[in-house]
Structure 1
Amino acid sequence: MTSPDTLSKSEDRVAEQYPADRSIVQVQESTALTPAQMREYALLVPDDEAAQPMVDAFRDIRTRLLSVAGDQNIVTLVVPVSPGSGASFVARNLAASVAFDESKSAVLVDCDLRKPSQHTTMHVEAKNGGLLSYLENPATLVSDILYETGVPRLRLIPAGGRPTRHAEYFSSFRMRLLIDSLRSRYPDRYLFLDGPAVRGAPDARILSEIADVVVLVAGYGRDSAEDIARAAANFDPNKFAGVVFNEDV
């Protein structure tokens, strides 16, 4: 078991890595994705006329979330009703839509430990591991698992593998330490958690306890009204932002 002293030292190392008076908005990507690469990585291109209706839809959701946030940066959990509903696509593009605003930045965290996909889709080589590495190893720093995505002001924390043992990762002190560290260092940084499906495991509900807002993703024509209602009932009504219907499933 990790001692409180070890956790305190870990938090101190995080503070040293991220000075409180520095904005992540000022951090530049070493290489930026081309529009063709963004499409390949299932990211919307802001000025793509052909995709404008979908771009506008994500901008509208972003505006609603920022309205809920007020003057605070928030943690948004995006989860599908059932596997294959397209929540990872929605989480990725919601995070990107925030990062497209030059006054804000975003971190996308792949919390689907059983079926991680963000690092593959975004072609990110997780050389230092990811979320699982941080949760299992007190020596791992936040800076070790934050990866550039090629989208300015958007960072990715990949899942970093699949669990080899049963553990309550998302209710652990390390998970809360990670979220607090990420959101407190930069007031212009917004967190998006790409969570597992509501149906089949309690992880989505557990993650909602450390999130400020929950967005539920339903596959259009795939998830029934009854399935959606049962999934929504898992979350605090005060945190539940609504349902996004995804046709691209």
Structure 2
Amino acid sequence: MTPRALEERKLIHRNDSVRAQADAFRGLRTKLLALGQERNFITLVAPVQQGCGGSFVARNLAAAFAFDETKTALLVDCDALHPAQDAALAVDVADGGIMDYLDGSVTDLSAIQYDTGLPRLKLIPSGTSRETTGEYFSSSRMRMMIDSLRGTHANRYLILDSPPVLNSPDARILSDLADLIVVVAGYGQATVERIDEAAASFDPDKLAGVVFNNIY
């Protein structure tokens, strides 16, 4: 995609027009790499509440990992109620997504890993909408899928785009699969109390920190 197309999709790139944003996500990537101690870790990006921009942060963090030619990134959209990544990345998801794989409708894991048009970045979209997803995310099939995705490539970094932390158990369930957790708070939107409540939902040893996303 051209720089203009990337900007329309709120994606960072290497040109000067979004240098400040790109540098911010590179900085976040560097901090996570230091915490991950050079292993190909799994990062859960979890917004405090709906509208904090968690999907934006997850998408651009994955892009920042893919900037490095020695690494690849796989973005997994785990928000079945409000999926955003396939539209943002202009990906045709005719073969389904993670929910279709977890319910057995799709059996080939490679079929739901889509090219995004960005080098070294693939997407697993949410797929068919589900009202309740916790039972799928806590299943042995989900855990085996994550282990397979991580183990296939030693240089692959998984980014899980989570549903909001508050008012849903899904983020906490998904955190069991992650090595590191980034909480996303909408700047001026999520109160300190709600941020604290969201952060307290997770294992403190996994909590990397809070990203304040400036909402326009």
TM bucket, shorter chain: over 0.9
State the distance in 1 between where 2:30 and 2:134 align: 36
Asked if the contact 1:198–1:204 (Cα under 8 Å) also holds between the matched residues in 2, the reply is yes
1:192 maps to which of 135, 153, 159: 159
2:141 maps to which of 174, 183, 186: 174
Unaligned runs of 5+ in 1: 1-32
| Worse-matched range after superposition: 49-58 or 219-228 | 49-58
1:24-44 Cα distance to aligned partner (Å, 9 max, x none): xxxxxxxxx121221122111
Q: Which TM-score applies when normalising by structure 1?
A: 0.84
State the distance in 2 between where 1:229 and 1:165 align: 25
Asked if the contact 1:114–1:163 (Cα under 8 Å) also holds between the matched residues in 2, the reply is yes
Deviation at 1:111, TM superposition (A): 0.2
Unaligned runs of 5+ in 2: none
Give the counterpart letter for 1:207 in structure 2: L
| Worse-matched range after superposition: 162-171 or 90-99 | 162-171
Please name the residue that 2:6 is paired with.
38
Please name the residue that 1:142 is paired with.
109
Partner secondary structure for residue 10 of structure 2: coil
State the distance in 2 between where 1:184 and 1:200 align: 32
User: How does 1:1-249 map onto structure 2 within 5 Å?
Assistant: 33-47=1-15, 49-137=16-104, 140-163=107-130, 168-249=135-216
State the distance in 2 between where 1:165 and 1:172 align: 13
CA RMSD of aligned residues (A): 1.3
State the distance in 2 between where 1:215 and 1:94 align: 10
Give the counterpart letter for 1:136 in structure 2: D
The higher radius of gyration belongs to 1
**Number of aligned residue pairs:** 216
The percentage of counterpart residues that share the same residue type is 51
Partner secondary structure for residue 234 of structure 1: coil
1:129-154 Cα distance to aligned partner (Å, 9 max, x none): 00011100175211010000000000
Give the counterpart letter for 2:207 in structure 1: F
1:56-99 Cα distance to aligned partner (Å, 9 max, x none): 11111000111111231000000100100000000000000000
State the distance in 2 between where 1:148 and 1:37 align: 16
Partner secondary structure for residue 168 of structure 1: helix
State the distance in 2 between where 1:42 and 1:237 align: 31
Asked if the contact 1:116–1:161 (Cα under 8 Å) also holds between the matched residues in 2, the reply is no
Asked if the contact 2:96–2:106 (Cα under 8 Å) also holds between the matched residues in 1, the reply is no
Deviation at 1:53, TM superposition (A): 1.5
Deviation at 1:248, TM superposition (A): 2.5
State the distance in 1 between where 2:81 and 2:49 align: 14
